[in-house]
Structure 1
Amino acid sequence: MLGISKSRLLVVIMGLVLVLSGCLNSQTPVDKLYSVLEQVVIKEKEFEEQQEPLVNLEKEEKVLYDKIISLGMKEYDEIVKVADEAIQIIEKRSLHMEKEQQSIQSSKKEFQKVTSILEEMDETDIKDKAEELSAMMESRYQIHEELFKNYTQGIKYDIELYEMFKNKDIQLEQLEAQIIKINEVYQKVLENNEDFNKKTEEYNKKKLEFYKAAGIEIKETT
C-alpha cells in the first residue's frame, strides 16, 4: 500500500586504461577501488529491477483493499475472493522484496573488499575521502537492513488483515487495531526509504568527488 521506490547507485565509466588493463595486480589501490565500486553497482542491478514491480503491486493491492472496505458483509463471498487476490499480490511483493534484499547482500559482500584496498593506500587525503565513502555505504546497508525488516513485518501484518476480513465473526475493534499496526510499521518503512534514498544520493555525490580527487577521468551514465 506504499507506492514508493528506492534510489539506485550511479554508474560511472572510467577511461580505457583501467578497463583494458585486465589484471588487478597491476592496478594501483585507486584503480582497484574503482573496480570494486563499479562492480557493486552491477551487483545492485537486480535491486533496481524490483522497484517498478513492487510499486505496481502495492498500487494493485491498494485497489483491492479499497474494494473490500466498500463492500458490506452481505457480500461476504466477494470479500473472501478479493481478500485472496490481495494475499496473492502480497506474496508477490514478498518475492520481489526478497530479491531486492539478496541483491543488496551481494553488493555488501562485494563492498567488503574495500577494507583491504584502503590499507594499501598511502595518500592521506585520498584515503580519508575513500574511508568517508566507505562509512557512508556501510550506513546505507544498515538502513536497508532496517527497511527490509520493517517491510517484511508489514507484509506479515497485511496478510493477517486480509485473513481477518475473511472471518465473519471478526470485530470492528480487531480490524482497527490491526490497521493501526500496519500504519505504524509502514510509517517506519517510509522513513527508512527516505533515509535510504538520501544516503544513496549522498554516496553517489561523494563517489564522484572521490574519483575527481583521485584524478580519475570519468563519465556518468544511466
Structure 2
Amino acid sequence: MFKKGEKEIFRISLIISLLFILLSGCSGPSPEENIYTIFEKVVTLEDPFKEQQQPLKELEKKESELYNEIMDIGLKDFDKVVALSNEAVTVLEDRETRIEAEYESIKASKEEFELVNKEIEKIKDEKLAEKAKEIKTTMENRYSAYESLFDSYKTSISYDKELYTMLQKEDLTIEELEAQIKKVNDTYKIVMQQNDVFNELTEEYNKLKMEFYENASLNVDESK
C-alpha cells in the first residue's frame, strides 16, 4: 500500500507521463517534413510521364523516317505513298495515346502538389517559408508551361494527320502541300520552344527543392 505522500508523488508522476505521451502524439511531422513527403510523392506520380519519353522519341523518329520516304517517292508510286501515309497515321495515333498518358501523370502530380499550400502557411522560419513559396511559384509555372506544351503537341499531331490525309489525294496541288507543311513546321517550332521552357522550369524546381531540403536540415537521397 502507498503512504499518503507516496500516493501524491505517484499521482503527479502519472499525470506528467500522460501529458508527455499526449503531447508527443499530437506533435507529428513538421511542416517541412510534410512538404518533403508531398514533393517525393510528386516524383512518384510523374513516373508514368518519364516512362513515355523514350517511346515518344522513337515514334517521332519513326514518323520522320516515313515522311522522308514519302517525300523521296513523290509522284513515282502513289499506292506506296498511300500505304506509308496510313502507317504514319498509325504512328501518330500511338504518339497521341502516349501524350495523353503523359498528361494524366502531370495532372495527378499537380493535384498532389497543391497540398503544399497549407503546409507552407505553417512554416515558422521566415526564410524557409520564402524558399517554399519560391518553389511553389516555380512549380506552378512548370505546370502551366506543360499545359501549353501539351496543347501545342496535340495541335502538331492533328496537322500531321491532315498532311498524311492530303498525301492520299491524287489531285493534291503543290501549293496545298507546301501550305500544310508550313503549318506543321511552324507548330513544331512552337513545341520545341515550349519544351525548352518546361525543361528549364523542371531544372529550376529540382534545384530549389534540394536547397529547401538542405536549409530545412532534411536528410534526403539527392540521386532521386
Query: Per the shorter chain, which TM-score range?
Result: 0.7 to 0.9
Give yes or no for contact 1:24–1:32 (8 Å, CA) kept in 2: no
Aligned partner of 1:167 among 166, 169, 187: 169
For residues 66 and 134 of structure 2, the distance between their equivalents in structure 1, rounded to whole angstroms, comes to 45
For residues 117 and 203 of structure 2, the distance between their equivalents in structure 1, rounded to whole angstroms, comes to 22
Give the SS at the match of 1:173: helix
CA shift at 1:123, angstroms?
1.2
For residues 130 and 76 of structure 2, the distance between their equivalents in structure 1, rounded to whole angstroms, comes to 67
CA shift at 1:25, angstroms?
7.1
2:137 is aligned to: 135
For residues 101 and 183 of structure 2, the distance between their equivalents in structure 1, rounded to whole angstroms, comes to 25
Give the SS at the match of 2:33: helix
From the superposition, tell whether residues 66 and 26 of structure 1 become closer, same or farther in structure 2 (CA, over 3 Å): same
For residues 53 and 107 of structure 2, the distance between their equivalents in structure 1, rounded to whole angstroms, comes to 16
2:204 is aligned to: 202
2:104 is aligned to: 102
TM-score (normalised: structure 1): 0.88
For residues 206 and 72 of structure 1, the distance between their equivalents in structure 2, rounded to whole angstroms, comes to 52
2:154 is aligned to: 152
CA shift at 1:132, angstroms?
0.3
CA shift at 1:197, angstroms?
0.8
Answering whether residue 114 of structure 2 is matched by residue 112 of structure 1, we say: yes
Q: Larger C-alpha radius of gyration, 1 or 2? A: 2
Q: Which amino acid aligns with 1:39?
A: K
Q: For each residue in 1:201-220, what CA deviation from the matched residue of structure 2 results, as whole angstroms up to 9, or x when unmatched?
A: 11111101111011112221
Answering whether residue 31 of structure 2 is matched by residue 67 of structure 1, we say: no
2:49 is aligned to: 47
For residues 59 and 29 of structure 1, the distance between their equivalents in structure 2, rounded to whole angstroms, comes to 45
Aligned length: 200
Question: Once the two structures are aligned, what percentage of the paired residues are identical?
Answer: 41
Q: For each residue in 1:126-147, what CA deviation from the matched residue of structure 2 results, as whole angstroms up to 9, or x when unmatched?
A: 1000000000000000000000
For residues 214 and 185 of structure 2, the distance between their equivalents in structure 1, rounded to whole angstroms, comes to 44
Answering whether residue 187 of structure 2 is matched by residue 185 of structure 1, we say: yes
Q: For each residue in 1:61-95, what CA deviation from the matched residue of structure 2 results, as whole angstroms up to 9, or x when unmatched?
A: 00100010011324111000000000000000000
For residues 49 and 24 of structure 1, the distance between their equivalents in structure 2, rounded to whole angstroms, comes to 40
For residues 51 and 164 of structure 1, the distance between their equivalents in structure 2, rounded to whole angstroms, comes to 29
RMSD of aligned alpha carbons: 1.3
Give the SS at the match of 1:120: coil
For residues 55 and 184 of structure 1, the distance between their equivalents in structure 2, rounded to whole angstroms, comes to 19
Q: Which amino acid aligns with 1:35?
A: T
For residues 151 and 183 of structure 2, the distance between their equivalents in structure 1, rounded to whole angstroms, comes to 15
TM-score (normalised: structure 2): 0.87
Q: Tell me, which stretches of 5 or more residues in structure 1 are unaligned?
A: 1-22
1:19 is aligned to: none
For residues 173 and 24 of structure 1, the distance between their equivalents in structure 2, rounded to whole angstroms, comes to 73
Aligned partner of 2:216 among 191, 195, 214: 214
Q: Which amino acid aligns with 2:44?
A: I
From the superposition, tell whether residues 25 and 150 of structure 1 become closer, same or farther in structure 2 (CA, over 3 Å): farther
For residues 204 and 56 of structure 1, the distance between their equivalents in structure 2, rounded to whole angstroms, comes to 27
